[in-house]
Amino acid sequence: MTRTIDLKNLNFLEFLQEHDVVAWPQGPGEPVALTQALVAQRKSLKNISLFFGLTCSQTLKPELADDFKLLALNGAGTSRLVTSVADMVPAYVSAIPSLLRSGYLRADVVLIQVNHVSKGLYSLGVISDFTQALMDQARVVVALHNPSLPITHADALVKEGDIDIFVKEDDFILDLPDPEPSEMDRKIAQNVVDLIPDRATIQLGVGTLPVAVAQALKNHKDLGVHSGVVSDVLVDLVKWGVVTNSHKGRDLGQTVTGGLFGTRRLRDFAQETGLIDMRSSEYTHQLSVAAQISKFHTINSAIEIDLTGQVNSEVAAGRYLGAVGGQVDFVRSGIASPGGRSIIAFESTSLKGQQSRIVASLGKRPVSTGRFEVDLVVTEFGVAHLRGCPLLERAKRLIAIAHPEHRESLQQAVFEGGTFG
Cβ neighbours, 10 Å, residue 312: 21
DSSP at 354: T
CATH number of 183-417: 3.40.1080.20
Q: What is the pLDDT of residue 420?
A: 63
Domain definitions of the chain by residue range: 3-168, 183-417
At 134 the pLDDT is 98
CA distance 260 to 28: 8
CA distance 193 to 237: 14
Residue-by-residue pLDDT tens, the chain, 421 positions? 899 999 999 999 999 999 999 999 999 999 999 999 999 999 999 999 999 999 999 999 999 999 999 999 999 999 999 999 999 999 999 999 999 999 999 999 999 999 999 999 999 999 999 999 999 999 999 999 999 999 999 999 999 999 999 999 999 999 999 999 999 999 999 999 999 999 999 998 899 999 999 999 999 999 999 999 999 999 999 999 999 999 999 999 999 999 999 999 999 999 999 999 999 999 999 999 999 999 999 999 999 999 999 999 999 989 999 999 999 999 999 999 999 999 999 999 999 889 999 999 999 999 999 999 999 999 999 999 999 999 999 999 999 999 999 999 999 999 886 666 5
**Greatest pairwise CA separation for the chain in angstroms:** 69
Per-residue confidence (pLDDT) for residue 415, from 0 to 100 = 84
The whole-angstrom separation of Cα 377 and Cα 305 is 9
Listing DSSP states for 130-142 in one string gives THHHHHHH-SEEE
Helix%, strand%, coil% for the chain, nearest 5: 30, 25, 45
pLDDT of residue 18: 96
User: CATH number for the 3-168 domain, one of 1.50.10.10, 3.40.47.10, 3.40.1080.10, 3.40.50.2000?
Assistant: 3.40.1080.10
270 DSSP assignment: H
Report the SS3 class of residue 54.
Answer: coil
Does 3-168 match 183-417 in CATH topology? yes
SS3 state of residue 368: coil
Q: How far apart are CA 412 and CA 321, in angstroms?
A: 29
Q: Is 296 helix (H, G, I), strand (E, B) or coil?
A: strand
pLDDT of residue 419: 63
The predicted structure's pLDDT at residue 417 = 67
